[in-house]
Structure 1
Amino acid sequence: MPRVLSDERRDLVKAIADFCRRECGTKEQRDKLTANGQEQHNQRLYEKMAALGWLSIAVPEEYDGAGRGMVDLCLFLQGTAYGRAPISGFGTTVIAAAAYEKFGTEQQKRVVLQGVTRGRVEAISMSEPGAGSDVGALTCRADRAAGGYLLNGQKTWCSNAHFADHILLVARTGQGDSKHQGLTQFMVPTDAEGLRIRGIDTMGGKDVNDLYFTDCFIPDSAVVGAPGQGWSQLMAGLNLERMILAALMLGVAQRAFDDTLQYVRQREQFGRPIGSFQTLKHRIADMATELECARLLLDDVAAAIDAEPDRMFAREASMAKLKCTELAKHVTLEGMQMMGGYGYATEYGMEALLRQTVVSTVYGGTSEIQRDIIGRTYGL
């Protein structure tokens, strides 16, 4: 790995790797932490990481965080994904926390950002049954009521809502000349009266939820940012969301590659290791090259964001998300093929990595949406 890291960052990477090997390094440990793979988040492990200061790596110092940037956040995400740490709540928590940091009231910031340092989880909800990639088509409403708003409607595919403290909700508060006008963000407690959370069974286990709002009252103090400005606030957070997904999937891809490499070195057929056959050797070489290309891209974009944190890197962040998620899916599929029946067996873990990567090309903006965004930045 040609990456050059400072001593401090090298120590962080090593500490994360050591922690993951110790706490969740075996299948038996992971099965115990995840109810045999059905749960994607273990709160006890998560809080151990909080105590080490890792969860607050990107939280500003005035809210008890480390005040680090995108490069360090990506290192943490890659390391925990590679180590297969079951902390799925972290990604949505960081995305939501960044929105509160930029647009929230001081009280909202203290509740959420200081909560991150203690290992609390946050969720964010945009998608609806009729509004996925087209977020502007959402219909979940927040209508004015005495002292606040009444929420009515349905949301779907909301990750981690079943164990989060709050949901950063995007709802319609009005209409305008554009479908993107009249959207507002709200801080909704997950125990609010009138909110029902129902899990959705998926091939990845218990991770996402439907949300049903029936005259769910939230006070004026729950508005995040300016009413009617939800769309522009969402756009301001896209760099972060795409980089989080890219970093996570690059970590998974590297783990799948390393596991595959170990297998083809050890597995013998026709009197020699199967990795010595040219057809597999060349596929390994291609994957290794693509992984390095993806790593260089991610590192470069992360460094650029740290240098200009207020600038939108729509093209570059979309490129990173597209490249890393599609590559992770490719590497895990290749790993399964090279491992044959063992790749399909739960004992070896490749099938679990594959399940993680397939959905990554869908959530956070599909690969098709990322390509469309990239194309538009070239005036197409």
Structure 2
Amino acid sequence: METGMAGAADRREFVAALRDFAKAKCGTRQQRLELTKDGTLAHSQSLHKELAELGWVGAALPEAYGGGGGSATDACHLVEEMAYGQAPLFGLAVTLVSASVVERFGTEEQKQDILGSVCRGEILATAISEPDTGSDAGSLRCKAELKGDNYVINGQKTWISCAHIASRIFLLCRTGEGEGKHDGITMIDVPADTPGVTVRPIATLGGDEVNEVYFTDAVVPADRVIGEVGAAWRQMMSCLNTDRLMCGAMFLGHARRTFDDALEYVRQREQFGRPIGSFQAIRHRMADLATELECCRLLVHDLAAKLDADPHRQVPREASMVKLKVTETAKRLAVEGMQLMGGAGYTKEYDMERHLRESIVSTVYAGTSEIQREIIGKSYGL
């Protein structure tokens, strides 16, 4: 991989290598079932480690910290192709989003430590939501009190992606008060094995994805604050481009795979003496879905290109459009795919039921579709 992977030929080779990797490791249903313990795991850490050893997990991270020096477009291709190849790597996108905060706001020592660990295959988690604070995350109450050179943390977080497999949890907690509810919130790097930290998985349709995390007098050194004390909300808002882009890339990959699986089925399944895809009702439905999928691809890669041109550019409207359009389309494709496959789509013999379980929640986490519509509408002065 050449520095920055700037050339189009280099990028094509990168994408081809990613596809070959996914096909070799996850190309059969039996391989996927073994990696996920019969579909109960959303992330295979052994597979993630292999990806890291190839230098691909850190493909878009700076070379100074062990990465490949690539771009937002490279990160998109990585996440998209792993999702398309059905590689159980839910923690990949989650980790890259968390890493972007360190890359932008961390000290040099934190970057060497944390970004280096990401390139070596460790998983990061970010803890924001609480039982009473979801979309209104500015009302969080988990508290960190400074005592000497340490913070003592108490509180509860919920719906935390990958906390059960993370080596560290980036905790958003209240360290003070201010004029607004978003003031006084700080991000602290909490090692997952810190005494007083308890992680409890939440059973979901998608398997082991999210968790409750409890902090009971957990003590963390004050130098583990990421960025500025009391400014974590502004820091997170400035990183939403990456959050929504990675979510878009992941579900673009899922949507592409869902479409291809449905297409293969309607080409082969025969009724009334011919493939069902030859009937106008099915053919037109597939045409509509293909068009929607292409719109998603253009949205994702256009946003990535904008961020490649100016990594610090704030594009909340475009980022929210990506999150909204891609996840809604991925969910629609899975529902339509199941309908097109009839009873076969409902069985565990095919992957369509898994596509549905993976995509159905995509419009909820990382900012619901309703929140994305609010952001887009307000960007027009409404």
Could you say whether these structures have the same fold, taking a TM-score greater than 0.5 normalized by the shorter chain as the test? yes
Please point out which of 269, 275, 278 is paired with 2:280. Answer: 278
CA distance in 2, matches of 1:38, 1:237: 31
For 1:219-271, what per-residue CA distance to the aligned partner results, in whole angstroms no more than 9, with x for missing partners? 11111111100110111110000000001101100100000000000000111
For 1:295-352, what per-residue CA distance to the aligned partner results, in whole angstroms no more than 9, with x for missing partners? 1111111101110111111000110111100000011110000000110111111010
2:167 maps to 165
For 1:170-212, what per-residue CA distance to the aligned partner results, in whole angstroms no more than 9, with x for missing partners? 0001111110000000000000011111110011111111011
1:224 aligns with 2:226: yes
1:214 aligns with 2:216: yes
Please point out which of 126, 129, 132 is paired with 2:131. Answer: 129
TM-score scaled by length of structure 2: 0.97
2:184 maps to 182
Counterpart mapping for 1:23-102 below 5 A: 23-102=25-104
1:319 maps to 321
CA contact (8 A) 2:144 2:153 kept: yes
Please tell me the residue identity of whatever aligns with 1:9.
Answer: R
For 1:95-133, what per-residue CA distance to the aligned partner results, in whole angstroms no more than 9, with x for missing partners? 111111111122221121111111111111100001100
CA distance in 2, matches of 1:236, 1:148: 27
1:370 aligns with 2:372: yes
- The CA deviation at 1:272 is 0.7
CA distance in 2, matches of 1:292, 1:156: 35
TM-score scaled by length of structure 1: 0.98
Please tell me the residue identity of whatever aligns with 1:26.
Answer: T
CA contact (8 A) 2:146 2:222 kept: no
For 1:39-71, what per-residue CA distance to the aligned partner results, in whole angstroms no more than 9, with x for missing partners? 111111111111111100111011111111111
CA distance in 2, matches of 1:132, 1:182: 18
1:116 maps to 118
User: Unaligned regions of 5+ residues in structure 1, if any?
Assistant: none
Matched position secondary structure for 2:103? helix
CA distance in 2, matches of 1:361, 1:57: 27
CA distance in 2, matches of 1:199, 1:107: 32
Please tell me the residue identity of whatever aligns with 1:109.
Answer: K
CA distance in 1, matches of 2:224, 2:78: 31
CA distance in 1, matches of 2:265, 2:111: 47
Counterpart mapping for 1:230-379 below 5 A: 230-379=232-381
CA contact (8 A) 2:98 2:126 kept: yes
CA distance in 2, matches of 1:45, 1:343: 27
CA contact (8 A) 2:79 2:92 kept: no
CA distance in 1, matches of 2:296, 2:112: 36
1:153 aligns with 2:155: yes
Please tell me the residue identity of whatever aligns with 1:194.
Answer: G
2:203 maps to 201
| Structure 1 residue ranges, 4+ long, deviating more than 4 angstroms after superposition | none
Matched position secondary structure for 1:41? coil
Please tell me the residue identity of whatever aligns with 2:63.
Answer: E
Matched position secondary structure for 1:22? helix
- The CA deviation at 1:79 is 0.5
Matched position secondary structure for 1:198? strand
CA distance in 1, matches of 2:360, 2:182: 29
CA-based RMSD: 0.9
CA distance in 2, matches of 1:360, 1:167: 22
- The CA deviation at 1:294 is 1.2
Matched position secondary structure for 2:367? coil
CA distance in 2, matches of 1:195, 1:64: 29
- The CA deviation at 1:146 is 2.1
